[in-house]
């Protein structure tokens, strides 16, 4: 496993003085995709006008209790038109499906949650509903992912906290890259890549900590701000025990509290699930922060990502892993 990096140095004149800026190009150790760490950058944004927007968004929210029974679409094939419920979580169909099986799971009754207000049980109940849905699918080979967009900078139209479950017959581009790269790694080293990654990173500067049956690592080549990876002991999502799901839920809540401490309020996450794939693949979780959402929100996705599939970030994984590691047990 190689952790490759290259350095570029830019020279600019600022206030009649020559200033040097270091740009670090990193290669993902599995896929070899690149990201750029620009140390002079910073996240731009504020929470100006945010409370006003949240209040206005409540009236017609389709995921709030007063509207959900009337407004949401129903899943036809698996849930048979029913709304599946567990705790505060509710599963229903995506009105605009992204794949053959495309459902949404509302996380909580609360229309809006501050990042410090997310609770492990919200995720735990939602993940349990997702497991139930996956376990009722017709037999076949699928690419399964679970994702969350929170607030507009993360691409969410609806404020109300919710996650997506996509069951696809055709892979997304990056999922396919992970799949064949992991297979190549397995054939070359006779080992699961994610198990190897934990072994290599366990005592290193990017290792953050553990929750039940789950290991948390700062991504070597980040795909977004404060990119953290969660790696489970149990391989397939739909077969995960309550303890394994709890490990994920607890870890997500810790990371959201960390983002809150950084003055952030928006994020994306995803699971790439190993279900129906071979032994070479292990379910892996990724979470990134987004620019703060305000009345005049700022998008942090630039042309290198949209057109080059290369990420630009401003913080080194080693630095934020150190910060997280020091406060992990307190979060």
- State mean pLDDT over 45-51: 70
pLDDT at 2: 94
pLDDT at 303: 80
Q: How many CA atoms lie within 13 A of 329 on its CB side?
A: 1
**What's the token pair of residue 256?**
């959201």
pLDDT at 49: 66
Band (pLDDT 50/70/90 cuts) for residue 71 is: very high
Band (pLDDT 50/70/90 cuts) for residue 45 is: low
One domain, residues 144 and 237: yes
pLDDT at 47: 63
The most confident of the ranges 18-27, 237-246, 299-308 is: 237-246
In a domain, 44, yes or no: no
Report the CATH number at residue 250: 3.30.428.10
One domain, residues 25 and 131: no
In a domain, 253, yes or no: yes
One domain, residues 239 and 92: yes
In a domain, 269, yes or no: yes
- Say which range, 35-44, 124-133, 283-292, has the weakest mean pLDDT: 35-44
Q: What is the 3-state secondary structure (H, E, C) of the chain?
A: CCCCEEEEEEEEEECCEEEEEEEEEEECCCCCCEEEEECCCCCCCCCCCHHHHHHHHCCCCCCCHHHHHHHCECCCCCCCCCCEEECCEEEEECCCCCCCEEEEEECCCCCCCCCCCCCHHHHHHHHHHHHHHHHCCCCCCCEEEEEEEECHHHCCCCCCCEEEEEEECCCCHHHHHHHHHHHHHHHHHCCCHHHHHHHHHCCCCCEEEEECCEEEEECCCCCCEEEEEEEECCCCHHHCCHHHHHHHHHHHHHHHHHHHHCCCCEEEEEEECCCCCCCCCCCEEEEEEECCCCCCCCCCCCHHHHHHCCEEECCCHHHHHHHHHHHHHHC
- State mean pLDDT over 302-316: 85
Q: Is 239 left (phi over 0), alpha (psi -120 to 50) or beta?
A: alpha
- Say which range, 45-54, 177-186, 223-232, 277-286, has the weakest mean pLDDT: 45-54
**What's the token pair of residue 296?**
């005049």
| Domain that includes residue 11, residue range | 5-38
One domain, residues 83 and 11: no
- Say which range, 152-161, 216-225, 276-285, has the weakest mean pLDDT: 152-161
One domain, residues 54 and 19: no
User: What digits encode the pLDDT tens for the residues 292-304?
Assistant: 887 777 788 878 8
One domain, residues 75 and 13: no
One domain, residues 19 and 82: no
One domain, residues 203 and 142: yes
One domain, residues 89 and 29: no
- This prediction has a pTM of 0.95
pLDDT at 287: 97
Band (pLDDT 50/70/90 cuts) for residue 78 is: very high
pLDDT at 46: 65
pLDDT at 309: 87
Averaged pLDDT score across all residues of the chain:
94
- Say which range, 16-30, 274-288, 297-311, has the weakest mean pLDDT: 297-311
pLDDT at 307: 76
In a domain, 113, yes or no: yes
- State mean pLDDT over 282-300: 87
In a domain, 45, yes or no: no
pLDDT at 48: 65
One domain, residues 213 and 325: yes
pLDDT at 308: 79
**What's the token pair of residue 226?**
């404060």
One domain, residues 23 and 123: no
One domain, residues 99 and 176: yes
Band (pLDDT 50/70/90 cuts) for residue 87 is: very high
50 contacts 293 by C-beta, under 8 angstroms? yes
User: What digits encode the pLDDT tens for the residues 99-131?
Assistant: 999 999 999 999 999 999 999 999 999 999 999
User: Is the confidence at residue 265, as pLDDT, over 80?
Assistant: yes
Domain count, the chain: 2
Residues above pLDDT 70, as percent of the chain:
98
């Amino acid at each position: 496993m190689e952790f490759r990096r290259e350095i570029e140095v830019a020279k600019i004149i600022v206030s009649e003085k020559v200033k040097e800026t270091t740009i670090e190009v990193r290669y993902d150790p599995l896929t070899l995709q690149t990201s750029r760490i620009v140390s002079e950058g910073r996240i731009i944004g504020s929470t100006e006008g945010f409370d006003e927007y949240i209040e206005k968004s409540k009236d017609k929210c389709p995921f709030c209790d007063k509207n959900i029974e009337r407004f949401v679409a129903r899943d036809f094939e698996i849930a048979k038109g029913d709304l599946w419920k567990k705790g505060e979580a509710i599963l229903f169909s995506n009105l605009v499906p992204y794949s053959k099986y495309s459902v949404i799971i509302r996380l909580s009754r609360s229309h809006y949650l501050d990042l410090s207000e997310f609770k492990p049980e919200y995720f735990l109940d939602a993940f349990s509903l997702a497991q139930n849905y996956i376990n009722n699918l017709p037999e076949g080979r699928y690419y399964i992912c679970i994702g969350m967009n929170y607030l507009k900078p993360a691409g969410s139209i609806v404020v109300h906290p919710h996650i997506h479950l996509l069951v696809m017959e055709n892979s997304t581009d990056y999922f396919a890259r992970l799949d064949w790269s992991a297979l190549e790694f397995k054939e070359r080293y006779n080992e699961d890549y994610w198990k190897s990654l934990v072994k290599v990173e366990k005592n290193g500067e990017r290792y953050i900590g553990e929750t039940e049956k789950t290991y948390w690592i700062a991504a070597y080549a980040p795909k977004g701000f404060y990119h953290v990876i969660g790696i489970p002991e149990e391989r397939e999502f739909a077969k995960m025990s309550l303890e394994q799901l709890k490990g994920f839920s607890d870890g997500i809540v810790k990371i959201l509290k960390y983002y809150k401490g950084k003055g952030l309020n928006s994020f994306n996450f995803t699971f790439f699930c190993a279900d129906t794939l071979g032994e070479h693949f292990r379910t892996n979780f990724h979470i990134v922060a987004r620019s703060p959402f305000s009345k005049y929100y700022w998008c942090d996705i630039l042309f290198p990502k949209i057109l080059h599939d290369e990420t630009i970030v401003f913080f080194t994984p080693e630095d934020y892993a150190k910060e997280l590691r020091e406060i992990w047990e307190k979060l």
